[in-house]
Amino acid sequence: MAWQHVMDAIVKNSRVKTRPSAVLIELPQATFSVAELKAMIHQDGVDSGHRWRTDVLFHLSETLGFRKDMFKNTTRVPLKDDVDFRHKHSSRFVMICENPETAWRFIRSWNQRILEYDMEGVIMRNRVKVSYIEI
């Protein structure tokens, strides 16, 4: 139930109200900001010749600020002190797409993609995991 409340809040902030779809983006080895990831996705759309029809890109770490009443009807509550919980929240994003077709096309294009980034002069690689979220 708490996950549905989170997704409802994300969709509510989206301009897509008819048939929205969502994807979960996981970047396990690195932390990127919403702005950095959004810029990469936008640039990919420019480079490939088609823009990604997406709206909201939401970093799951922002859910820690959600109201506690979202979690009152569930036995699952955020475990903010758990290392695995914190890692998942710092490495996952939810992106709202205009329709399921866009979501699945994004998944086909981005799942298992390797992003390279510079970390203090060392080139690092991060394999992206993307999956579909039923909303």
- pTM confidence score: 0.79
In tens digits, the chain (135 residues) has pLDDT values of 477 777 888 888 888 877 789 999 999 876 788 899 999 999 999 999 888 999 888 888 776 665 555 556 666 555 666 666 666 667 899 999 999 999 999 999 999 999 888 878 888 888 999 999 988
Write down all domains in the chain, each with its CATH number in brackets: 2-133 (3.30.70.330)
Report in angstroms the alpha-carbon separations of 19 from 11, 12, 15, 135: 11, 13, 11, 9
Give the residue from 35, 11, 93 showing the smallest Cα distance to 43: 35
pLDDT at residue number 4:
77
